[in-house]
């Protein structure tokens, strides 16, 4: 069997349903073999978007998404998408073509050192230079992507390897990768800390989304009477309509969530890397707090927050072990009532009825109207933070966003991948006008492949988030943030054959969203929003919670 | 000084991947010794860095690498020293723990010792 055929067969054996790829010279053998395969192939209009689609698919299906790019520019275009997946621990298998091994290293046409380029942004990567190792590399790629902490794996495939003969014995070789070590030596200490806590709080991170430990964590929170706060990446992993779930914390988080984080005496942190967007200034973060840190990745324990009890294992297993070990149950009535009361205070009404439309109003209506199994993706910027702050995620709803890398242009292609993974759900990308222009060519992909997603464009005419920082921290000296020359987005969508509605008045918001939900073709809702609206409240970068900027926020609960 | 010892697969790209972890963590490596070892298709990489905190900050990242089979911070008592001395029979080599080698040098005529390498 030839290498190209072997790759197709190895993908099929992994039960891959869909590939997102753009061919090129060195990939011709592979694309020829794909003609005879039943796997669905989606042709994005840019490799970066192919990777984001595979990523969106992976985040919904919890299985590796597969993307393909040719050598040289194909591989370099793929880099942003792979790095995005890496930062959010999303399992991808990224395949790139490569020039023949005989000329590798000689600056051949369309040669780039993809192996080196991908190395720091993948969990692992392979450059296959010997046909004997092709099957093993492919099999290990899938295993590594989904063993322990998930992540992208890249396989570089020179054209002569795709043309070489692959022996059956090599195809049939079994492959294993080491399981991550578990270390629960600190379990008893952790349980004691949690039992003795007066004001315990649970911080959950993206690891919990991947290990689907939400229900167990909610149970543990009830046993401990501990509020749950989430990072941006964990939004949706625990139900935001549960009384103990306070929502997203951090720079643009809900104040009650930050309150719990800053005023707890014992923090149980699960599957989070303590990003600077969560902690603010690290030296001040939880100076008096005892931290129990649970992570599947031993290199995270003590990386950002030092000297704490670490439990190494996957969230689901460790949380079940904690539940099993808990003996005493304190009522913690004061802490509970304080939290519940503050949470009420933090639930302002953002049904803002004014023109120009306030972005919060759009998210408020989306939160009310989208079905309980809807998937929301976001772009990056103010749109993302409004979505994170005001959209309520519960039931089978999912929230998919580029949290780690913050990649503009992620949301639209990720929505397409998500819709392929869960076609029965409404999928909405909450978008910004700057971000959408980075990937708007993917309307063609959506149309060609009948992927009816809804884009809710919060059109403020600016690179809004950067403008906000120029306003707040650089004395309103706006530079390179106004998006002059933007297209008429309604016409742009229509040019591809998609549906589009412009929404200028707050009174039209609900009807537009209802049409979006019902639409069975890709649809763009172009909400003209107030360009002066900022994302507030906000804890400025490098500052601690007490330095927050308030805006419309009614929060009084800090009590400082 | 702290010494990190790794057992790795012996193939192109391993050094690049290992060193990338040091680069990312802004660690200036003091010494590197690397070569194939007693096991076939495996290498040992021995790296020394300035202090314990530095070593602890990178060790788990090294362990997470697929091509790194083992990575450990070497116990101080196991730091091996190596000396070349002049003796009655000409130049001879002495190896052992740091303490052993140092006491040997002291016991013989120190002025006759040529070089001591305190690395691994
Ligand atoms: C690819 C990329 N380039 C630049 C940035 C820096 N950046 C962060 S937010 C932002 C503005 C985003 O504008 P838009 O999509 O219109 O969203 P808004 O903030 O206006 O809602 C920029 C430029 C980024 N995150 N990603
Ligand atoms: Mg904008």
Q: Which of A2-11, A29-38, A45-54, A173-182 has the lowest mean pLDDT?
A: A173-182
Q: Do residues B56 and B8 share a domain?
A: yes
> What is the tally of structural domains in chain B?
2
Q: Taking the CB of residue A92, how many other CB atoms lie within 10 A of it?
A: 31
Average pLDDT of chain A to the nearest whole number: 94
Q: Is the CB of A29 under 6 A from ligand 1?
A: no
Question: Under an 8 A CB cutoff, do A298 and B63 touch?
Answer: yes
Strands (E), A350-426: 375-378, 398-400
pLDDT more than 70, % of chain B:
87
Q: Which of A213-222, A294-303, A438-447 has the lowest mean pLDDT?
A: A294-303
Q: Is the CB of A406 under 6 A from ligand 1?
A: yes
- Distance from the Cα of A422 to chain B's closest Cα (Å) equals 32
Q: Which of A301-305, A536-540, B78-82 has the lowest mean pLDDT?
A: B78-82
Q: Band of the pLDDT at A3, cuts 50, 70, 90? A: very high
Taking the C-alpha atoms of residue A280 and residue A251, their distance in angstroms, rounded to an integer, is 7
Look at A360 and A349; give whichever has higher pLDDT: A360
pLDDT higher than threshold 60 for residue A282: no
Question: Under an 8 A CB cutoff, do B16 and A116 touch?
Answer: yes
How confident is the model at residue A306, as a pLDDT?
67
Q: Is the CB of A412 under 6 A from ligand 1?
A: no
> Look-up: residue for tokens 């294993």?
A176
DSSP state of B37: -
Q: Do residues B68 and B26 share a domain?
A: yes
CA A150 to ligand 1 center in whole angstroms: 27
- Report the nearest atom of ligand 1 relative to the CA of A483: 16
Q: Band of the pLDDT at A202, cuts 50, 70, 90? A: very high
Which chain B residues touch A297 with a CB distance below 8 Å?
64
CATH code for position B60: 3.30.70.260
| Cα angle, residue A190 at apex, residues A180 and A559 outer, rounded to 5° | 120
Taking the C-alpha atoms of residue A98 and residue A118, their distance in angstroms, rounded to an integer, is 13
- Report the nearest atom of ligand 1 relative to the CA of A379: 15
List, for residues A436-449, the tens digit of each pLDDT value: 999 999 999 999 99
How confident is the model at residue A560, as a pLDDT?
47
CA A527 to ligand 2 center in whole angstroms: 11
Q: Do residues B52 and B82 share a domain?
A: no
A384 token code pair: 């993302």
List, for residues A367-386, the tens digit of each pLDDT value: 999 999 999 999 999 999 99
Q: Choose the mutation target among A139, A296, A299, A304 for the interface with B, i.e. most B CBs under 10 Å.
A: A299
pLDDT higher than threshold 70 for residue B120: no
pLDDT more than 70, % of chain A:
98
Q: Do residues B69 and B85 share a domain?
A: no
Q: Do residues B65 and B88 share a domain?
A: no
Question: Under an 8 A CB cutoff, do B66 and A127 touch?
Answer: no
Report the residue of chain B nearest A180, measured CA to CA: B64
Taking the C-alpha atoms of residue A98 and residue A113, their distance in angstroms, rounded to an integer, is 9
Look at B104 and A395; give whichever has higher pLDDT: A395
Strands (E), chain B: 2-9, 31-36, 42-49, 68-73, 80-87, 90-97, 113-117
CA A534 to ligand 1 center in whole angstroms: 14
Q: Band of the pLDDT at B67, cuts 50, 70, 90? A: very high
Q: Do residues B27 and B44 share a domain?
A: yes
Q: Ligand 1 atom 17: the closest Cα is on which residue?
A: A432
Report the residue of chain A nearest B22, measured CA to CA: A120
Q: Do residues B52 and B86 share a domain?
A: no
Q: Cβ distance A190 to A56 under 8 Å?
A: no
Residue B112's domain comprises 78-117
Mean pLDDT of A175-198: 93
CA A406 to ligand 1 center in whole angstroms: 8
Q: Which ligand has an atom closest to residue A479 CA? A: 1
Q: Band of the pLDDT at A452, cuts 50, 70, 90? A: very high
> Look-up: residue for tokens 């229900």?
A215
pLDDT higher than threshold 70 for residue A281: no
List, for residues A115-156, the tens digit of each pLDDT value: 999 999 999 999 999 999 999 999 999 999 999 999 999 999
DSSP state of A113: -
In sequence order, what are the residues at sequence separation of 6 or more whose Cβ sits closer than 8 angstroms to the Cβ of residue A412? A49, A377, A379, A429, A431, A435, A436, A439, A440, A442, A453, A455
Q: How far is CA A241 from CA A178, A237, A315, A340, A438, in A?
A: 39, 12, 22, 12, 34
Nearest Cβ partner for A298 among B12, B60, B66 = B60
Nearest by Cα to A134 from A109, A166, A169: A166
Mean pLDDT of B39-64: 93
Q: Band of the pLDDT at A275, cuts 50, 70, 90? A: confident
Nearest by Cα to A505 from A354, A351, A390: A354
Q: Band of the pLDDT at A308, cuts 50, 70, 90? A: confident
Task: Name the residue of A430, A434, A527, A531 to mutate for ligand 1: max ligand atoms within 8 A of Cβ.
Answer: A434
Q: Taking the CB of residue A437, how many other CB atoms lie within 10 A of it?
A: 18
Taking the C-alpha atoms of residue A258 and residue A287, their distance in angstroms, rounded to an integer, is 14
What per-residue string of b and e applies to A291-310 under the rule 16 or more CB within 10 Å gives b? Answer: bbbbbbbbbbbbbbbeebbb
pLDDT higher than threshold 70 for residue A454: yes
Q: Which ligand has an atom closest to residue A409 CA? A: 1
In sequence order, what are the residues at sequence separation of 6 or more whose Cβ sits closer than 8 angstroms to the Cβ of residue A398? A59, A60, A236, A374, A375, A376, A418
| Cα angle, residue A209 at apex, residues A190 and A520 outer, rounded to 5° | 165
Instruction: Tell me whether A348 touches chain B (CB under 8 Å).
Output: no
How confident is the model at residue A206, as a pLDDT?
96
What are the structural domains, with CATH classification, of chain A?
3-171 (3.40.50.970), 187-345 (3.40.50.1220), 359-528 (3.40.50.970)
How confident is the model at residue A420, as a pLDDT?
98
Q: Do residues B82 and B69 share a domain?
A: no
In sequence order, what are the residues at sequence separation of 6 or more whose Cβ sits closer than 8 angstroms to the Cβ of residue A91? A58, A63, A64, A65, A85, A145, A146, A150, A151, A152, A153
pLDDT higher than threshold 90 for residue A528: yes
Q: Do residues B7 and B57 share a domain?
A: yes
Q: Do residues B67 and B93 share a domain?
A: no
Task: Work out how many CB contacts closer than 8 A connect A with B.
Answer: 26
Q: Taking the CB of residue A190, how many other CB atoms lie within 10 A of it?
A: 25
Q: Do residues B23 and B51 share a domain?
A: yes
Mean pLDDT of A25-31: 98
In sequence order, what are the residues at sequence separation of 6 or more whose Cβ sits closer than 8 angstroms to the Cβ of residue A215? none
pLDDT higher than threshold 70 for residue B110: no
CA A460 to ligand 2 center in whole angstroms: 5
pLDDT more than 90, % of chain A:
87
Helix (H, G, I), strand (E, B) or coil at A535: coil
Q: Band of the pLDDT at B119, cuts 50, 70, 90? A: very low
How confident is the model at residue A558, as a pLDDT?
66
- Distance from the Cα of B68 to chain A's closest Cα (Å) equals 11
How confident is the model at residue A280, as a pLDDT?
65
Strand order through the sheet with A65-69: A40-42, A18-21, A65-69, A92-98, A153-158, A124-127
Question: Under an 8 A CB cutoff, do A299 and B63 touch?
Answer: yes
Q: Is the CB of A533 under 6 A from ligand 1?
A: no
- Distance from the Cα of B18 to chain A's closest Cα (Å) equals 10
Question: Under an 8 A CB cutoff, do A120 and B20 touch?
Answer: yes
Q: Which of A21-35, A342-356, A445-459, B20-34 has the lowest mean pLDDT?
A: A342-356
Mean pLDDT of A324-347: 90
Q: Do residues B58 and B96 share a domain?
A: no
Q: Cβ distance B71 to B6 under 8 Å?
A: yes
Taking the C-alpha atoms of residue B84 and residue B105, their distance in angstroms, rounded to an integer, is 10
């Amino acid at each position: 069997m030839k290498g190209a055929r072997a790759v197709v067969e190895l993908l099929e054996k992994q039960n891959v349903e869909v590939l997102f790829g753009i061919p090129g010279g060195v990939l011709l053998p592979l694309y020829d073999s794909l003609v005879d395969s039943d796997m669905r192939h989606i042709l994005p209009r840019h490799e970066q978007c192919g990777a984001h689609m595979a990523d969106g698919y992976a985040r919904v299906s919890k299985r590796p998404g597969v993307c393909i790019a040719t050598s040289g520019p194909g591989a370099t275009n793929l880099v942003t998408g792979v790095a995005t997946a890496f930062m959010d621990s999303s399992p991808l298998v990224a395949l790139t073509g490569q020039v023949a091994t005989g000329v590798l290293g000689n600056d051949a046409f369309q040669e780039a050192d993809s192996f080196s380029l991908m190395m720091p942004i993948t969990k692992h990567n392979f450059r296959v230079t010997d046909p004997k190792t092709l099957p093993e590399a492919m099999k290990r790629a899938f295993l590594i992507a989904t063993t322990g902490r998930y992540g992208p794996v890249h396989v570089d495939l020179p054209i002569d390897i795709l043309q070489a003969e692959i022996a059956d014995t090599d195809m049939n070789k079994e492959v294993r990768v080491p399981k991550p070590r578990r270390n629960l030596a600190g379990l008893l200490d952790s349980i004691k800390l949690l039992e003795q806590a007066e004001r315990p709080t649970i911080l959950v991170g993206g690891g919990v989304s991947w290990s689907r430990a939400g229900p167990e964590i909610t149970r543990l929170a009830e046993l401990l009477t501990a509020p749950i706060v989430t990072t941006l990446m964990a939004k949706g992993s625990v139900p935001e309509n549960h009384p103990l779930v306070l929502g997203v914390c951090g720079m643009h988080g809900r104040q009650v969530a930050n309150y719990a984080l800053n005023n707890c005496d014992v923090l149980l942190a699960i599957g989070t890397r303590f990003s600077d967007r969560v902690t603010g200034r690290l030296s001040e973060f939880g100076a008096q707090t005892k931290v129990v840190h649970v992570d599947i990745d031993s290199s995270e324990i003590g990386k950002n927050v030092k000297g704490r009890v670490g439990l190494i294992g996957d969230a689901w297993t460790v949380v079940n072990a904690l539940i099993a070990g808990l003996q005493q149950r304190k009522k913690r009535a004061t802490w509970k009532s304080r939290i519940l009361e503050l949470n009420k205070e933090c639930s302002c009404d953002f049904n803002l009825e004014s023109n120009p439309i306030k972005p919060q109003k759009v998210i408020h209506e989306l939160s009310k109207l989208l079905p309980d199994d809807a998937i929301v993706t976001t772009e990056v910027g103010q749109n993302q933070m409004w979505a994170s702050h005001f959209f309520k995620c519960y039931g089978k709803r999912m929230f998919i966003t580029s949290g780690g890398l913050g990649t503009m242009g992620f949301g639209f292609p990720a929505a397409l991948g998500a819709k392929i993974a869960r076609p029965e759900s409404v999928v909405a990308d909450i978008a910004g006008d700057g971000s959408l222009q980075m990937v708007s060519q993917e309307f063609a992909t959506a149309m060609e492949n009948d992927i009816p997603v809804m884009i809710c464009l919060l059109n403020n005419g600016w690179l809004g988030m950067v403008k906000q920082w120029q306003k707040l921290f650089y004395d309103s000296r706006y530079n390179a943030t106004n998006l002059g020359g933007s297209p008429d987005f309604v016409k742009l969508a229509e040019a591809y054959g998609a549906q589009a509605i412009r929404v200028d008045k707050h009174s039209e918001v609900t009807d537009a969203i209802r049409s979006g939900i019902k639409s069975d073709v890709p649809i763009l809702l172009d909400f003209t929003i107030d360009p002066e609206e900022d994302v507030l409240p906000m804890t400025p970068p490098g500052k601690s919670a007490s330095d927050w900027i308030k805006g419309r926020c009614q929060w009084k609960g800090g009590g400082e | 000084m702290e010494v990190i010892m790794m057992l790795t697969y012996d193939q192109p790209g391993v050094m690049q991947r290992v060193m990338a972890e040091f680069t990312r963590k802004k660690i200036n490596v003091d010494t590197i010794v690397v070569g194939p070892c007693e096991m076939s298709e495996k290498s040992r990489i021995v790296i020394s860095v300035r202090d314990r905190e530095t070593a602890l900050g990178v060790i788990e990242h090294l362990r997470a690498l697929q091509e790194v089979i083992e990575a450990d911070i070497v116990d101080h008592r196991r730091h091996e020293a190596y000396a070349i001395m002049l003796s009655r029979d000409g130049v001879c080599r002495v190896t052992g723990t740091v303490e052993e080698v140092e006491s040997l040098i002291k016991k013989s005529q120190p002025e006759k010792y040529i070089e001591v390498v305190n690395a691994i």
